[in-house]
Amino acid sequence: MTKLRVESYTISIDGFGAGTDQSLENPLGVGGTALHGWAFATRTFQAQLFGSKDGETGIDDDFAARGFHNVGAWIMGRNMFGPVRGSWPDESWRGWWGENPVYHTQVFVLTNYPRAPLVMKGGTTFHFVTDGIRVAFERARDAANGKDVRIGGGAATIRQYLQERLIDELHIAIAPVLLGAGERLFDGVNIADLGYTCTQHVPSQRATHIVLTRT
């Protein structure tokens, strides 16, 4: 059965999943890159991002690797796809990841503004969904063909799916970083009342890994 999962979503000690003022210079907002030191060091992310065989193994790598296991499609918010806001001025923006993105599946981008599908190298196609989160999930589930669907982010997208109790499992990495400002993952969300419980809690040298599961 297809699950809807969040994997390797990192927040600061003070609860922020991204910094302020996302831009080309700061894709994760001011200070946001510091959240992901645990992930960038792993063998999994070195292979996914750079095609490298270097990188660390261990707890962090185990969690990074599980995030790509059995994933048949992705969902992400418009802001995760890029810094362009409002209607698309043209189709020149093709994502942060170059011509061969890390996804290698169909990716469904939530937006209010239509855009034709964007076919990339390596099997990634970005579809721009204007019909809301449930339609995006239905399309992603069909595309996943029995595998799971992973939500890449950002925080607002995850919150929408949480509030509808559509997420089956949520892996959060808490980084030893203070951002002070940005976008809080659980802002306005009572995760306990929604029926989620902590089913795994594993510390590493660079992060504390939490898995929340819908009961």
Alpha carbons 191 and 75: distance in angstroms, whole number: 21
Sign of CA dihedral 16, 79, 203, 215: positive
**Are the beta carbons of 4 and 196 closer than 8 angstroms?**
no
Q: Report if residue 90 sits inside a domain.
A: no
Domain range enclosing 37: 4-84+98-214
| Count of all residues that appear for the chain in the document | 215
pLDDT of res. 50: 81
Nearest to 6 by CA among 95, 66, 59: 66
Calpha distance 12→172 (Å, rounded) = 10
Tell me how many domains the chain contains.
1
The CATH number given to whatever domain includes residue 133 is 3.40.430.10
Digitized pLDDT (tens) for each residue of the chain, 215 residues in all: 899 999 999 999 999 999 998 888 888 899 999 999 999 999 999 998 788 889 999 999 999 999 999 999 999 999 999 999 999 999 999 999 999 999 999 999 999 999 999 999 999 999 999 999 999 999 999 999 999 999 999 999 999 999 999 999 999 999 999 999 999 999 999 999 999 999 999 999 999 999 999 99
Is 57 inside any structural domain? yes
pTM here is 0.95
pLDDT for res 52? 84
Q: Helices 59-66 and 43-50 meet at what angle, rounded to 10?
A: 50
Angle among Cα 41, 121, 136 to the nearest 5 degrees reads 85
CA-to-CA distance for 65 and 7, rounded, in angstroms?
A: 10
pLDDT the model gives residue 23: 87
Whether 48 is in a domain gets the answer yes
In a domain? residue 93: no
